[in-house]
Structure 1
Amino acid sequence: MKIHYILVLVLLTACQGQNLQIDKLKSENQILKDKIAQLKNQSIVLNKIDENTLVTLANTDVQQITSKFNGQQYQIKISYPKNYFLNKEKKYPVLYVLDAETNFGGVSYIVQRLIKDKLIPEILVVGIAYSTDYKNFYKLRSRDLTPVEDSGLRMGNKSVDPTGGAPKFSDFLEFELFPFIEKNYRIKKEDRAIYGHSYGGLYGSYALLEKSQLFNRYLLLGPSLWFKDKLLVNQVSQKNLTFGRKTKLYMASGELDLRIKDYQEEFVQLLKEKHIPKLSIESEVVENETHRTIFGVGFTNGLRFIYKK
């Protein structure tokens, strides 16, 4: 009887082990299914892009540039001023737009409206994009727009995205994109503006502190100055900043974007306390706006400030 009882225990233990193994295999199988579904979705998105079935914006152009500095192929989106092809002698200021993967249409429309009402001069808009799916876009912008590596950074519950590529991205701008635009379009070489939001605002702040030769106008919304324990905010006090030309900085964040607005105000206050010659600053915290909704009012107000005579 005792032997029989032991055999039953052995069989039960074996069954439990098999059940655990089956549960493990089911879990692994579901993970693989989810991964396959994700890859299929990415494939569909990329095929749609390749088929060029997306809406085309009037008076725009698209170019491709592969950078030798980071090996990345960039999709460069151009939005022309209305009279660009009529007045063949006129040269235009350039607004370089980060994250043009998602914002190029909205940016181009607001620019057109402000030009029509003579609130800003005619400008050429140059959008910098990657021509990829949404998930990879966020990885690539994380790489390009952050000033140093942060291997422990996690956004929500996601895995670690690449960081620290801003120096190489800056080289791409200075030594590849800017010369390409100067060669192929009628622009004012000395008049370059940058628009960036979130990580784009972080990159613009980095360029202001470390690469001031790149731009003389900065329009930065909801800047992610929290990055790397407020790295750039902490660096401002130690910086001996000088500007060789008149430079304008506009920053804005939403009242409801608590951490962002606080660090923005601290960053701006530290800059103002330095009384830097040739640097004009305008900073806003806009009532009842969030990190995302700051775009409309912030971009409009920012354009009017940075191009105000």
Structure 2
Amino acid sequence: MGETVDADGHPTPVSLPNSEQFYLKNDQGRKYSIQVSWPLLWEDREKPRSCPIIYLVDGNSMFLTATESAWRRGYSSRFNSGIIVAIGYPLEGKLYDIEQRNLDLTPPSETPVPGHGQADGFLDFIENSVKPAVRSRFPKISFEREALFGHSYGGLFALHALFTRPDYFDCFMASSPSIWWNGRCILDEAEKFLDVTSLTGEKVPSVIIPPRWDNESNEDYDARKQTALGFRMTDNALDLLLKLEDSTHLRVLLKDEYEWEEHLSIVPCSVSRALTKFFEEWPFEKSES
């Protein structure tokens, strides 16, 4: 982070307090950018305390949105805030590494798609590399609970994590998940998850699934109608909710709807609401579902 004003008083890049960025490589040597922020009201990050922590994929597009939402909330709320960890890529001038996120955020399947399907390796990287690295930077912090947030392909990734590694997080947040991907193969994982008689490990996860709601003009809608019908973003999310709502493997299943938003504009809404729920309203009540 640079100084706010140079020697001649000229403008300089904006710096962000109570945050840091570092890089990690996975087992294949791929570099990832890890961005971390903690509450502005923490005058000393070394002070022993306990707090929640949330991990967000597609970190380049999520970090500032999530950090600003949490900081603003921290000033108006009597509840404790937490630590935000955004997992992204070393990028300049863009928000997404499309090729790499295609690999990282989509699950393996019986009908492989070239350039996709390495979500298991990415989950291993988060669990075995990212989490220990973050904990080492906060040695006096006790993490009360952990959440995973993802949007679109990231929402698909969050669902895959829930269905295959439910003990990795206490809460899984899938914003506008791409359930349509590869013939809706994620529903096969859901069925297997529901067929399991008991979960291994001690965690019984909670799930938040905000469906996508469209508010397009008639012209835009007509142009995208066939694609939208194929993706069935809202219907797929609601179908999955019906499958999961009676599962004994979940502590709570919550749904948030954003009537006036579309697939991209929903991100700040769902990020802000997810943070508020996870940081302030835990443990969730079943009556909210």
Class of the TM-score when normalised by the shorter of the 2 chains: 0.7 to 0.9
TM-score, length basis structure 1:
0.73
State percent identity of aligned pairs.
22
Residue in 2 that maps onto 1:206? 160
The one of 271, 276, 285 equivalent to 1:299 is 271
How many residues get paired?
Answer: 248
Is the aligned partner of 1:61 residue 2:20? yes
Q: How does 1:1-309 map to 2 (within 5 A)?
A: 55-68=14-27, 70-86=28-44, 88-118=47-77, 121-133=80-92, 134=94, 137-148=97-108, 162-185=115-138, 186-189=140-143, 191-239=145-193, 240=196, 242=199, 244-256=202-214, 259-276=232-249, 278-307=250-279, 308-309=281-282
Task: Judge which range, 119-128 or 259-268, deviates more.
Answer: 119-128
CA, structure 1 residues 120+74, in 2 after alignment: closer, same or farther (shift >3 Å)?
A: farther
**Structure 2 segments unaligned to the other structure (5+ residues):** 1-11, 215-227, 283-289
What letter is aligned with 1:75?
A: S
Judge conservation of contact 1:74–1:131 (CA < 8 Å) in 2: yes
TM-superposed CA distance for 1:125, in Å, is 0.7
What letter is aligned with 2:237?
A: Q
Report the Cα distance in structure 2 between the residues aligned to 1:54 and 1:129, rounded to whole angstroms.
21
Report the Cα distance in structure 1 between the residues aligned to 2:95 and 2:246, rounded to whole angstroms.
40
TM-superposed CA distance for 1:78, in Å, is 1.0
**Structure 1 segments unaligned to the other structure (5+ residues):** 1-52, 154-159
Per-residue CA deviation, residues 215-271 of structure 1 (Å, 9 max, x unaligned), is 112222110111111111233223226372342211113321761111111111111
Per-residue CA deviation, residues 157-189 of structure 1 (Å, 9 max, x unaligned), is xxx6x2111111111111111111112214434
Report the Cα distance in structure 2 between the residues aligned to 1:163 and 1:124, rounded to whole angstroms.
30
Report the Cα distance in structure 1 between the residues aligned to 2:276 and 2:19, rounded to whole angstroms.
23
Judge conservation of contact 1:253–1:298 (CA < 8 Å) in 2: no
TM-score, length basis structure 2:
0.77
Per-residue CA deviation, residues 62-92 of structure 1 (Å, 9 max, x unaligned), is 1111112x32111111112123342611132
